[in-house]
């Protein structure tokens, strides 16, 4: 009796386990079988379906499907697409094409060698244009899209330039003679303050936006790559330096002089940016998305102009970033995805990123929207440098835990440049010591 009961119990347990695991198995597996693999690819987009870039891409994808016969499975995932990719890389369900800012891609799949080298795409001909990809994408963007040993992990299709924005209608003197040096810039700020206006808008609750100021000031003083080098030093020995102190003092002085709009340290984004668009502050240091992000709330007749971050030494490069396509190493249909990249870079299609989504593209022959003319001129004329000198991408953990909090204290006048130097030196040494364990 007892034996029978046990046996029956075992049978029941085995049955339930089998059924349960079976259900799991069928729920978790995806059916990727089928031999038409060359004729399709999957694209996980960083855009959400209603964003202008998504609309441009959707049209290009439809056109590509028609012309090539290759079917595209697109998922408009939004900015989390790379995080989701990271999880997917451990499964068989890997997308063949993704897009993101260069540092997001490099941070997620370059260091660990999970990307496909897209150097071949440079040699691909853009269908219908008799030009190769290399011929239309200038080499100045390679610093964003290649690894130290020259592998191509990204093909850019949108460019972001970071400049200081203002309303030319309200500030005609600035428009006719934009400040070039830090001294000229602070003269303009002092003038603005004396006239009873708020000189600078900053949404201080976004630590990354506050960081743009200090990081650029440091890169200006130390030269491109100087801030990056400072942070990568495990002994943190470079901070106690006259040039560094000078750059930090320049930034601290903005707070000391009361140049930031009141409430910049205690508002919720985008409150301050909106105030700037409504002429309540004069300047906003922001990426080239600033006009599109603020135009619905901008004061009537707002005329978007911008100038390069002023010099604090010899460097006058334009801080920039790029958004582009990447292909994961384990993608099953990489070839089809690469065909689409070449297809999208056709002048006619790519120019819609400019004309419909109001953003800059890497192709110099694409006409730019009027409000981006200044930043585009800088993009063509100047050398480019990475925004935050590449620190945000390469040392993200240090950046958010050590640099950004201290920077916010500096920019709200809570610590002096000397205190900043002391604290970051200790913080950086401790950080690197913790990394070595």
Partner 1 sequence: MTLATPPAGEPRRWRGSPRSTGAFDRSRRRLFLPFVVPALVLYLAFVIGPTLAALWISFHRWDGISEMRWNGLGNYSALFGDPTFLTALVNTLIILVVAGAAIFAISFVLTMIVREMRGRSFIRSVLFFPHIVSAIVLSIVWGFIFEHNGTVNTILSKMFGAEPIPWLNSDNLFSMILIGTVWISTGLYVTIILAAVDRIPRYFYEDALLAGANAYQRLRFVTLPLSWDVISVAAIFWTISSLKIFEFIYAFGGTTNDLPPPAVWNSALFVYGESFGGRSPSYLFGYASASAILMLVLFTVLIVVLRRLLRRDSIEF
Residues lying near partner 1 in the complex (CB under 8 A) are found at: 5, 8-9, 12-13, 16-17, 20-21, 24, 79, 83, 86-87, 89-90, 103-104, 107-109, 111-114, 205-208, 262-263, 265-269, 271, 392-393, 396-397, 399-401, 404-405, 408-409, 412, 414, 427, 430, 433-435, 437
Q: Which pairs count as long-range contacts for 54-61, CB under 8 Å and 24+ apart, including other chains? A: 55/356, 55/357, 56/349, 56/352, 56/353, 56/356, 56/357, 57/344, 59/349, 59/352, 60/340, 60/343, 60/344, 60/349, 60/352, 61/340
Which CB atom, from 207 or from 373, has the smaller least distance to partner 1? 207
Residues linked to residue 152 through DSSP beta bridges, in sequence order? 146
Which CB atom, from 178 or from 204, has the smaller least distance to partner 1? 204
Rounded to 5°, the CA angle 159-218-250 comes to 115
Q: Residue 435: enclosing H or E segment and its boundaries?
A: helix 417-435
Which CB atom, from 22 or from 364, has the smaller least distance to partner 1? 22
Q: At its nearest, how many Å lie between partner 1 and the CB of residue 381?
A: 28
Token output for 183: 């001294």
Q: Is 41 left (phi over 0), alpha (psi -120 to 50) or beta?
A: beta
Q: At its nearest, how many Å lie between partner 1 and the CB of residue 75?
A: 18
Q: Is 215 left (phi over 0), alpha (psi -120 to 50) or beta?
A: alpha
Which CB atom, from 252 or from 336, has the smaller least distance to partner 1? 252
Q: At its nearest, how many Å lie between partner 1 and the CB of residue 235?
A: 17
Which CB atom, from 92 or from 367, has the smaller least distance to partner 1? 92
Q: At its nearest, how many Å lie between partner 1 and the CB of residue 239?
A: 18
Q: At its nearest, how many Å lie between partner 1 and the CB of residue 197?
A: 17
Which CB atom, from 151 or from 373, has the smaller least distance to partner 1? 151
Q: At its nearest, how many Å lie between partner 1 and the CB of residue 70?
A: 28
CA 35 from centroid of its chain's CA atoms: 37
């Amino acid at each position: 009796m007892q034996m029978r009961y046990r046996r029956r119990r075992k049978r029941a347990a085995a049955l339930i386990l089998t059924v349960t695991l079976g259900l799991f198995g069928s729920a978790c597996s995806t059916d990727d079988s089928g031999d038409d693999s060359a004729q399709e690819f999957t694209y996980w987009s960083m855009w959400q379906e209603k964003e202008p870039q998504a609309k441009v891409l959707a049209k290009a994808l439809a056109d590509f499907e028609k012309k090539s016969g290759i079917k595209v499975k697109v998922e408009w995932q939004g900015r989390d697409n790379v995080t989701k990719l990271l999880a997917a890389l451990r499964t068989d369900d890997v997308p063949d094409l993704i897009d993101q800012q260069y540092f997001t891609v490099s941070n997620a799949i370059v260091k660990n060698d999970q990307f496909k080298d897209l150097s071949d795409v440079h040699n691909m001909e853009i269908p219908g244009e008799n030009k190769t990809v290399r011929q239309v994408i200038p080499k100045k963007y390679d610093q964003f899209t290649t690894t130290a040993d020259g592998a191509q992990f990204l093909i850019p299709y949108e460019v972001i330039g970071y400049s200081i924005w203002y309303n030319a209608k309200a500030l005609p003197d600035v428009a006719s003679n934009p400040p070039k040096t830090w001294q000229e810039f602070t003269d303009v700020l002092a003038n603005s303050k004396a006239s009873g206006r708020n000189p600078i808008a900053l949404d201080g609750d976004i630590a990354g936006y506050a960081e743009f100021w200090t990081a650029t000031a440091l890169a200006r003083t130390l030269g491109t790559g100087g801030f990056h080098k400072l942070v990568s030093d495990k002994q943190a020995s470079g901070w106690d330096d006259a040039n560094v102190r000078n750059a930090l003092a320049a930034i601290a002085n903005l707070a000391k002089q009361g140049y930031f709009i009141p409430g910049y340290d205690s508002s919720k984004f985008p409150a301050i940016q909106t105030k700037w668009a409504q002429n309540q502050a004069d300047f906003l240091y922001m990426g080239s998305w600033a006009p599109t992000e603020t135009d619905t709330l901008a004061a009537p007749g707002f005329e978007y102009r911008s100038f390069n971050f002023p010099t604090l030494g010899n460097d006058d490069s334009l801080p920039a970033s790029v958004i582009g396509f990447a292909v994961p190493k384990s993608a099953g249909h990489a070839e089809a995805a690469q065909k689409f990249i070449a297809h999208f870079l056709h002048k006619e299609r790519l120019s819609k990123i400019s004309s419909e989504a109001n953003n800059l593209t890497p192709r110099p022959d694409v006409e730019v929207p009027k409000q981006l003319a200044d930043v585009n001129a800088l993009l063509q004329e100047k050398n480019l440098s990475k925004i935050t000198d590449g620190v945000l991408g390469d040392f993200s953990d240090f950046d958010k835990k050590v640099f950004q909090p201290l920077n916010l204290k500096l920019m709200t006048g809570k610590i002096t440049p000397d205190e900043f130097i002391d604290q970051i030196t200790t913080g950086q040494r401790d950080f690197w010591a913790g990394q070595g364990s």
